[in-house]
Chain A
Amino acid sequence: MNPHSAMPIPRIINKIDSPEAKSPPGKNRPNRLRILLLFLIAAYLSGCAIIPIITTEQGLRSGRGQILESDLAAFEIGKTTREEVLFKFGEPSLVLNDQKLIVYRWAVSKGGAIFVAVAPGAGMAATAGPIDRYYLVRIEFNENGRLLRFDRSSSIWSEMDKKINEWIPSEDKKYTRTMRILISPAPTLSALQQDADAPCLGVKIRVEDFADLRPDLEAGSPIGKVKPAWLKEGVDVCTRQQPSEVVRDSVMTQLQAMGAEITDQGPEVVVSGAVRTFAIKTTNNRPGWYNLFGSVEFDLTARHVTAADAGVTRHYKIACRRHSMSPFSEEKFTAVLGDCMKDYQRQTDLDIDLIWEINSGFVPGAGGESP
């Protein structure tokens, strides 16, 4: 039986709307329930419905805290200084246009919404989400740091990035919300911890800055881009440290774990390197299941200070993979690059030639003994 044909919907609606159906004053609870049921029925017929539940403003949904209208009352155009504003409200949310525009923003909870999806014959699913009210305080200063204009506004629909840009005349200084994930892949110690049996115990090593030979390189350029099909623009993945520093740190950590002493004073061995690849890639095989690939490629050279021409060079090319339910998992991006560095450390642990070379430097001119 078609469930729709059995539902005398118009009669219910008429009944609710009819004057006799209205509750007596002060007893509006039955009406609310009927409205809720009406939403459910609408959901049933149309396939989905959103039931907003608007409350008074409460709680903080983003930002550090609110700025009230009364807080701005003392501001005087041409008199109030940037110093006074910062002194009163502390760290701004954004500082734009050569520090002439200071923005504070926050969001408060304004209730929630229930999303109901109905598939006739298959049942119903309901979930809930918050409704936020976004607040924005724009404060603009002149060249001398005196207040030029300010306002406070709010919206329940958007975070008002456009409104911020209204006060920035120069196109190249407009605010764009950069979709960016910042990660800090850190070197991890290998299983081989420093102890009396460490193969390079006491060798003094200087680790030079690593060159960055990645192609099309710009400062702060991303190491990868995540672009799920449902997102209009991709999200850049960047590292807080330069990749060459991350790799260098990993190499230093590994050498320390092997017993070496990292020092710039009187080194016996100098280690240098160059990073060729340091990248993240994601693929999406099926909804909600992402493969995150990390790839690291770099050269490493260890040479004695007494024999600058000699030495050992290694080329490492490592790729690792992890799975993630989310395409934007900072933790997983960090972990997959950490896996690559761990793999390098494992390779070094087993690299007898490299260990031999480093130890040769420990006894200058002696050629070294097998470690």
Chain B
Amino acid sequence: MALPGWLYRYPALLPHLKQKLLALAAALLLLGPATACAPTPSLSPADSATLENSGYGFIRDGVSSRDEITTRIGLPVYEFEHRRILIYRCHNSDNLVSLYSVGPVDPYNPREMPSPHPELCSVVLVFDSNGILAKHSLVISK
């Protein structure tokens, strides 16, 4: 490994430095994954057809009932405002989403995702006072 010319004026350093620079280069390689040039995905609503194309055609505004949806999918991860708003977690792969029930949030441990999960998405369902789906949204990272 070539070192800058001025260093050769200090021969006592050379044997140590060459070996250390190699170790440093190895550490720099380790840094690669951490500093890899990857864009940061943003949370944003997805095309409403994505859910239907993924086999969730039964989630239809003005038609589906809360009971029907919870029976077919399971318990949502979050319920707000006396079950008027339900949130389901889903997995997004190439615009094909799959909803799954992970059950409600553990009251002893608010659920957080410590590792990056840009593939995880959310389905937000808003019901009217009769328990019929008023509107829904699919939020993905892109």
Contacts and interface: CB of A to CB of B under 8 A. Distances in A.
Interface stretch (B48-56, B61-69, B103-111): B103-111
A88 B116 contact: no
A340 B13 CA distance: 58
B80 A59 contact: no
Given A108-B40, A109-B34, 16 more contacts: A3-B16, A6-B12, A30-B4, A40-B17, A40-B21, A44-B20, A53-B35, A59-B38, A95-B105, A95-B110, A111-B34, A111-B35, A116-B27, A128-B31, A128-B34, A129-B34
Interface string B9-51: 0101100110111011011101100111111111111000000
Given A90-B124, A124-B20, A58 B36 contact: yes
A60 interface: yes
Interface of B: 4, 6-7, 10, 12-13, 16-17, 19-21, 23-24, 26-28, 30-31, 34-45, 77-78, 80-81, 84-85, 87, 89, 105-110, 112-118, 120-124, 126, 135, 137, 139, 141-142
Contacts of B40: 57-60, 65-66, 108
A22 to B, nearest CB: 13
Contacts, number: 187
A90 B121 contact: yes
A96 B23 contact: no
Contacts of B113: 62-64, 93
12 contacts: A34-B4, A40-B21, A58-B35, A63-B116, A64-B117, A64-B121, A65-B43, A88-B45, A90-B122, A93-B112, A116-B23, A124-B23
Interface string A177-221: 010101000000000000000000000000000000000000010
Nearest to A82: B80
A67 B19 contact: no
Contact of A33 (B4, B13, B34): B4
Contacts of A175: 110
Contact of A67 (B43, B78, B121): B43
Contact of A64 (B17, B19, B141): B141
Nearest to B46: A90
A156 interface: no
Contacts of A7: 10, 12-13
A94 interface: yes
Interface of A: 3, 6-8, 12, 15, 30, 33-34, 36-37, 40-41, 44, 53, 55, 57-68, 71, 82-83, 86-96, 99, 104-109, 111-112, 114-116, 118, 123-131, 145, 175, 178, 180, 182, 220, 238
Contacts of A63: 113, 116-117
Contacts of B122: 64, 90-91
A57 B108 CA distance: 33
A96 B80 CA distance: 12
A88 B108 CA distance: 27
Given A57-B40, A111-B34, A86 B87 contact: yes
Given A61-B116, A67-B42, A125 B4 contact: no
Contact of B16 (A34, A44, A96): A44
